[in-house]
Structure 1
């Protein structure tokens, strides 16, 4: 039987493809784009309306204190020659604009239901559990196989290399599976934490009629597909159902 089920494999391939798509946007820009980071959702969503490059989170240190801003990577690394008009935006202003656009979508009760269903269906999948069990089973098989090969090698003599290649293959597969198991365990832990947050959001949406009051990473991740910077005063926010809203910052 397969160590990883088909659905999990497809999702891994999709994630690899998505991260790969962050590598380059423009040949003219000649710039490596920001590495994927799950820490800030805007890293995945925010892009320059002028050159198409992603935006990067930057901390400015000023006498009055630190300020968090987002800047076009192309302009940041290559200057105005490659991206002339990309504005620098304060993170708080972006958050406020995204929340305002989301609340426009929440003006109908049905939209609240759609968001809640989307969050719960996406975050309550315990996709890693079966795969972890399958990996544990395969690791047990590999331990037995390795022990058997070592016995055969000992039987033919210490100088024999007859089983070296098979032992190497077993060892490589074992190491790869141990790494995969750790990855899935971390993903499962993150999923459980996200589940708790989704329950909290769902409860808030059921009791609050005034809409969302603050920027929330989980809600944004489930609802928004892209945020394009049109100017220093305007964002184009695209939702996963295809609706686009031009939002004043």
Structure 2
């Protein structure tokens, strides 16, 4: 079975007089005659799978906590946070040099190119730092959740799912639940 890999959308479905809420592949909904054969999945089935994944995490939280601690160490040691102070000092010097070159009507194109290159480097460093901080925060939230939760979930909770789950992927034989902390759990269909 060929599955297109597109995202799913929540749909109110009326199938032969039976109304239900299902999730269907966007390409099947928007593209007439689409070749996508991704299965339609009932919302209740999806919710049950997500609750099972969360409960699976809670039931075996010790190994997951260990993994999360390793993930934190990896994220924290990832070249630490790139400092932009050095780039800022270089930029300041180049800007002074650019002013001098422009006043004396000399060619300043090389200096300007270097300024643009350093600005791009600085922007990339800031984006990487923000991404790393986001990872730290998501892992810390998962650890807090695991430490606070004393029992299994009995029913689907939308707020909790939005806080913990990054992505749910539907396969032919299983549903893969990926947590925001990068932990993945497979639930058999």
TM-score range, shorter chain: 0.5 to 0.7
* C-alpha distance in structure 1 between counterparts of 2:11 and 2:23, whole Å: 9
Task: Give the equivalent residue in structure 2 for 1:141.
Answer: 90
Q: How does 1:45-84 map to 2 (within 5 A)?
A: 50-58=2-10, 70-84=23-37
**SS, match of residue 126 in structure 1:** helix
Q: How does 1:187-202 map to 2 (within 5 A)?
A: 187-202=131-146
Report if the CA contact (8 A) 1:103-1:211 is conserved.
Answer: yes
Query: Can you give the 5+ residue segments of structure 2 that lack an aligned partner in the other structure?
Result: 13-19
Higher relative contact order by CA 8 Å / sep ≥ 6: 1 or 2? 1
**SS, match of residue 76 in structure 2:** coil
Measure how far apart 1:51 and its partner are.
2.3
Q: State the superposition RMSD in angstroms.
A: 4.0
* C-alpha distance in structure 2 between counterparts of 1:126 and 1:82, whole Å: 44
Report if the CA contact (8 A) 2:50-2:177 is conserved.
Answer: no
Among candidates 68, 79, 82, match of residue 132 of structure 1: 82
Query: Can you give the 5+ residue segments of structure 1 that lack an aligned partner in the other structure?
Result: 1-48, 61-66
Which whole-Å deviations, capped at 9, do the CAs of 1:11-32 have from their partners, x for residues lacking one?
Answer: xxxxxxxxxxxxxxxxxxxxxx
Q: How does 1:79-228 map to 2 (within 5 A)?
A: 79-84=32-37, 86-87=39-40, 89-90=42-43, 93-104=45-56, 107=59, 111-123=60-72, 125-126=75-76, 130-133=80-83, 135-154=84-103, 157-158=104-105, 160=106, 162-163=107-108, 165-204=109-148, 207-208=150-151, 210=152, 214=156, 216=161, 220-221=165-166, 227-228=169-170
Measure how far apart 1:148 and its partner are.
2.5
Measure how far apart 1:72 and its partner are.
0.8
Matched, 1:236 2:174: yes
Judging changes above 3 Å, is the alpha-carbon distance between structure 1 residues 88 and 76 closer, same or farther for their aligned structure 2 residues?
A: farther
Measure how far apart 1:219 and its partner are.
5.2
